[in-house]
Amino acid sequence: MKNCVLQAVFLLAFTSFAAAQQAVSLESSAVAIHSATVVKDSTIMATIVAPIAKKKGFKDLFDNDQAAIAGPRLNPRAISFVQDYIEKNSEDLENMRGWGKPYFNVMDAILIAHNLPKELKYLAVIESRLHTSAVSWAGAVGPWQLMPATARVLGLKVTRKKDERTNYIKSTQAAAKYLNDLYDQFGDWLLVIAAYNGGPGNVLKAIRKSGSRNFWDLQYYLPTESRNHVKKFIGTHYIFEGQGGLTTLTKKETDENYGVNGTYIFNRRLTAGETDEAKTETVSGKYHSIVIAKNIMMDVTDFNRYNPDFDKVMASANNSYDIKLPADKMELFNANKYQILNESIQLMLKSATTEVTLPSSKDSSIMVKK
């Protein structure tokens, strides 16, 4: 079975591999959790913060012939390490897929609320195997292995009597804040993962010494543990997801393969239920989000949650977007499509010009282009 999985991963034919993983996930959904910590959905939702600023996409390499089926292909410089990692860890991590599901659900909700890719939860897998009692030789504690000073800066209580690094919800919220800070600094998820493990100082030093911000070019200027940490994350992503993704890539590669505006698909902040019930349709033309939302009787904030960066993409040279809407709203959109387009064009023309009164002997008004 492992040989089949490896062959699937490295030949980029992940369809059967992903299907097998889905079956395992379905079978394991009834398995009891592996730890004493039990988290209720109501508790999760009560403590999740409101979404904050969206993140741009990240880098990646694609096999153009397989991209539609398999997603991003593995960087050639990672193949040997990741192949060995998958061979050694597949069975253990497949078991975790079952008993860790409640914890993954907690992390997914919090990461999404912080506008982070939910696949970043695999950092906790390689940091601690999801164990709240995990303690490193350096003093990092909890599922996210936060150091005492870092945890305090992020708002966690760390005392002799109470250590909130062992609290799943609070530690995940703190880790999300830290990941956002690191992304703001580096703008690249592979560098963020390296910095999460070894500290931003080591990554900055590697950038300076190598003269590059590409992880694959600067990796040998990083501490061995941090370099391998990134590759373990990639390997874990492949085991759980059956393929690579935005967080296994570099910014330059993502821009090249998705386009600067092409990562909006990955920035949608929808629940599983909303995704299942939504319809998708490709549109082109000068549509505007405000006009669409008005005509389909949908709050513009919700529209933007379903369709991030809509106006930006439609105003670009690409001018094409895979619009996603609840089924009933999609029906309204299609029923009023031409009216919406006409109103959108009128809005664009109106915003492109402004009436300016200029002083003259005749006190005339003229239209001036902005």
Catalytic residues: 127
**Burial annotation 204-229 (CB, 10 A radius, 16+ → b, else e):** ebbbeebeebbbbebbebbeeebbbb
- Helices 189-198 and 168-186: crossing angle in degrees, nearest 10, is 120
Residue carrying the six token digits 């992880």: 215
The whole-angstrom separation of Cα 95 and Cα 27 is 11
The whole-angstrom separation of Cα 50 and Cα 131 is 27
Residue 357 sits at φ, ψ, to 5 deg, of -90, 120
The whole-angstrom separation of Cα 160 and Cα 147 is 14
350 CB burial (10 A radius; 0-12, 13-18, 19+): exposed
Q: Which amino acid is at 86?
A: I
